[in-house]
A and B are shown apart, each in its own frame.
Chain A
Amino acid sequence: MKSTGKRHPSYIMLMALLVLLIGLPVYVPSSSYTIILVTNVLMYVVMALSWAIFSGPTGYISLAPAAFFGVGVYASAILSGSLPLPLVILIGGLASFVLAYLVGSVTLRLRGMYFTMFTFGLVELVRNLVHWWEVNITGTVGRLIASEEPVTVFYGMVAIFFAVLLASYFIGRSRYGLALRSIGESEEAAAHTGVNVNRIKAVTFGVSAFFMGLTGATMCMRWSYIDPTTAFNIQYSFMPVLMAIFGGTGHLYAPVLGATIFSLLEELLTTKFPYYYMLIFGLTMIIVIVFMPSGLEGVIEKWRKRGKGGPEGVTYDAEKT
């Protein structure tokens, strides 16, 4: 919670990252593999960050990201060509917000495993509903999309990345961030301290879904054809959760780092070891969970505290962002 003004190292790093990302298409061909790879990394980074907005402080493990991503994809597929691009993306995000807010208002009283199972079921429900709709109402399966240039999708993801970073930062520092953390510790005590627990949970779940919807709507433009199976692929639920667990959720850099390393690792493994990919991936995950229970963040924070010469065994969360 310390504010150290504009010369904070993370502020400088953020600016450098922004310049680097915006300038990237100048240095590499705008439809090159690099652009597509970085777009893919950004997609996972945004998904993990959005997930961490709600699930990080509250501890509610949601497996619904694929549902919100898919809603964004479909909104974009339906509207593309008929509206300006930014508006299409925004509607994709808003549609996910509305779905998450409504679902959240009803189900966020479920706790622990029950909530997780429900969100898992939500992905299947929405996917099957869309599938049913296509078979019985529109009589088609899937949709053709007028896809955009890779560089357009890339800039879209850069913009969403910075939007979700800013949103996470300001939520984390505001009274809502404090309230979310209190909800994660004791909903009862939070309510008896004046926090409208159910509303804050539902709205934050919605905000988290909003960015997932934006991502889906943007990434959709990379494809030329989508159907419910690709749009609501459960991988979009599992990956962000694993990445956030791998990186950690206590600091902003943690999900970014986790998602970047994880998605690069995935890329490397699928290209170099296509047959052993899942095996190596699973092993890596097990090793990380066993040896780094608080993720990369745990290791980094331990190292940072030692560097500062802080008292052993006493940890204060004063720097929590």
Chain B
Amino acid sequence: MNILEVEGINKHFGGLAAASAVDFHVGAGEIVGLIGPNGAGKTTVFNLVSGALLPDSGVVRFKGIGITGLKPHKIVRIGIARTFQSVKIFSKMSVSENVLLGHLFGRAKGSVISDPAKGETEEILDFVGLAGLKEARAMDLILANQKRLEVARALATHPDLLLLDEVMAGLTPTEVAKAMELVKRIRDRGVTIVMIEHVMKAIMSICDRIIVLHHGMKIAEGTPEEIVSNKTVIEIYLGE
């Protein structure tokens, strides 16, 4: 079953086509990689799916239901969560408050700050490896932990589909390895993942399928093996 279907989606910024006629689908339980050079339109696709931008035309369907034009908070509440390319944690709030917010306003919608809510917050912090830092102020965390916190906040909204925008950028090799392992464990929780990433090692080893964007267009799609041997992709990345 396809959890996400994007059909012929278009988005122009003035004369620039950030996404033109992009078609793709994501099956439930998959880890799908979204790659392409800078400015290829990867984040635009995330913005269109998560409701941050309205497409000029085209349709986004989640579990078979059209969600094009829904506001971001509505999209979160039906089960799509995301992280941001430039980390957007609530830096003056504590680590656990960041996650609690996701629990209180996401799909679970616990309406009060109760002990079960706090318990779940701790479980998620434990899951991403931030259990020891729950009282710390988010701004005091190192980058790798800020990225994990963003993932934790997204997970707290109880998503079925998680959009990860460059969670590994700027991390050390050890941190990247940990992040890869975390992504797999999230999938094992039953969450489908679409990830934008420039760290090729990570993409190639954990993605079931990869979609390549260039100048707002989808130019290739397939398994990691198919992508590394695809002529167009090699041309774009390495030059002719």
Contact = CB atoms under 8 A, between A and B. Distances in A.
Given A188-B52, A194-B76, A316-B136, A175 B94 contact: no
B157 A193 contact: yes
A4 interface: no
B93 A194 contact: no
Interface string B7-23: 00000000000000000
A193 B76 contact: yes
Contacts, number: 91
Size band of the A side of the interface? Answer: 20 to 34
Interface in B81-113: 81-82, 84, 88-94, 97, 100-102, 104-107, 109, 111-113
Max chain B C-beta neighbours (<10 A), residue from A178, A181, A191, A192: A192
Contact of A192 (B76, B91, B97, B111): B76
A175 B104 contact: yes
Contacts of A314: 140
Contacts of B102: 193-194
A182 interface: yes
B117 to A, nearest CB: 9
B148 to A, nearest CB: 15
A294 to B, nearest CB: 12
Contacts of A194: 73, 76-77, 102, 105-107, 109, 157
A192 B92 contact: no
B111 A315 contact: no
A185 B137 contact: no
Nearest to A315: B137
A105 to B, nearest CB: 14
A175 B111 contact: yes
A265 interface: no
A191 B106 CA distance: 10
Contacts of B93: 178, 181-182, 185, 317
Contacts of A190: 90, 101
Interface string B108-150: 0101110000000000000000000001110010000000000
Max chain B C-beta neighbours (<10 A), residue from A178, A182, A194: A194
A315 B135 CA distance: 10
Nearest to B99: A193
A174 interface: yes
Contacts of B106: 193-194
Given A182-B93, A196-B71, A317-B92, 5 more contacts: A179-B105, A182-B101, A185-B92, A194-B105, A317-B93
22 contacts: A173-B113, A174-B113, A182-B101, A185-B92, A188-B52, A188-B84, A189-B90, A191-B52, A191-B72, A192-B52, A192-B72, A192-B73, A193-B76, A193-B153, A193-B154, A194-B73, A194-B77, A194-B109, A317-B93, A317-B94, A317-B137, A318-B94
